Amino acid sequence: MTDTGSRTGPWTGSAWLEHTVLAAVPLAREVAGSEVRAGLDAGLDADLMTDGFVMELVSAALVARVQAGDLAAREAMVALGALLEAGPPVVGEDIVSAYLIHVPSPGQPGGEIADGLGPRVRAALDQDRDHRNEPAVAAFLDRLLQAVPALRPLADAERYGYHDEVLAHPFLGDVAERAVSLLTGGASLEIDDDWTDEERAEALRLFTSAAADPVAEVRAVLDFFEAELGSAPEVDDLVATAFVEMLPDDDEPGAEILELIGPRLRAELRQTR
C-alpha cells in the first residue's frame, strides 16, 4: 500500500488512507474523524486505529445513514467503492473487506450500494456472501435447532450472505454464552455501559429469555453436543473451537456448567486448557 504524505488524522494507519481515499470523499473523512475520536474517548487503544479498522467504522456509519435515507451517505459509499476498485498493491484486501463488511446485499435496504460497485470490489463481495456451510455442519445445525428450539433466535441473529446461512462458529459461541448466562441468571452477560437501551434489550432477549427451565435447556444443549461428538470431523472441530473453548474457567462466573458436561465434552475441554 502506498503511503502519501504524513498523517493528520487521529488514527495510526497510513497517510494513504487519509490523503488518497478519505480526502477524495469529504463525508467519509468527516465520519472517520468523528468515529475515531469517539472510540478514543471511549477508551479504545490508539494502536487499533489501523486503515482497516477506520474503514470499517466509516462503512458502518455511512451504511446506517444510507438505510435511514441519506442520499449523501449513499454517494459517499459509492465513491469509496470506486476508489477501492484500484485493487492490490495499492489497495489491500483487508481494506476492501473492511469496506464491504457492512454493505447490504442486493435486494436489502441500501443494496443499491452493491449495484454500483465496480467488477473487482463486487467480485470480492460476491465471494464473501456466497457462503455455504459444509453439508455435515449444516445438518448438525438443523438437528441442534430441532433439539433445542429456544436457540432459533440466536441462529437467526447469525444468518449471513446470499443463502441466509447460519454462521456456525459465531452461533455456537453465542450458544455457549447463552448457556452460561442462563445458569448465572444473566450475571455473566457482559453489557457495555455505552450500549443503547435497544442493544441491551436485544442482548437480554437473545441470551436470557424464552427458557422456562434454564437448567433443562442447558442440559439439553450439553447432551446434544455430547451425543454429536464423533459424528463427523467437521462437527467435532466446530464444537471444540466454537463452543468448548468459550466455556468459563473454574474461577469464572458460570463455572457450574463444567459440572454438567459429559465425558466427551470434558475430553475436548482438557485438550483446550
Per the listing, cell 438443523 goes with: 142
pLDDT at residue number 3? 46
What's the whole-number mean pLDDT along residues 119-145?
95
Task: Tell whether the model's pLDDT for residue 91 goes beyond 80.
Answer: no
* Three-class SS state of 68: coil
Least confident of 25-34, 79-88, 123-132: 79-88
pLDDT at residue number 14? 65
pLDDT at residue number 87? 66
pLDDT-derived band at 39 (thresholds 50, 70, 90) equals confident
- C-alpha grid cell for residue 270? 482438557
Global pTM reads 0.79
pLDDT at residue number 13? 60
User: Position 219: which residue type?
Assistant: R
Per the listing, cell 448466562 goes with: 181
* Three-class SS state of 165: strand
Question: 121-149 b/e with 16+ CB inside 10 Å = b?
Answer: bbebbeebbeeebeeebeebbeebbeebe
pLDDT at residue number 9? 57
- C-alpha grid cell for residue 162? 446470499
How confident is the model over 212-228, as pLDDT tens digits? 789 999 999 999 999 99
How confident is the model over 224-264, as pLDDT tens digits? 999 999 999 999 999 999 999 999 999 999 999 999 999 99
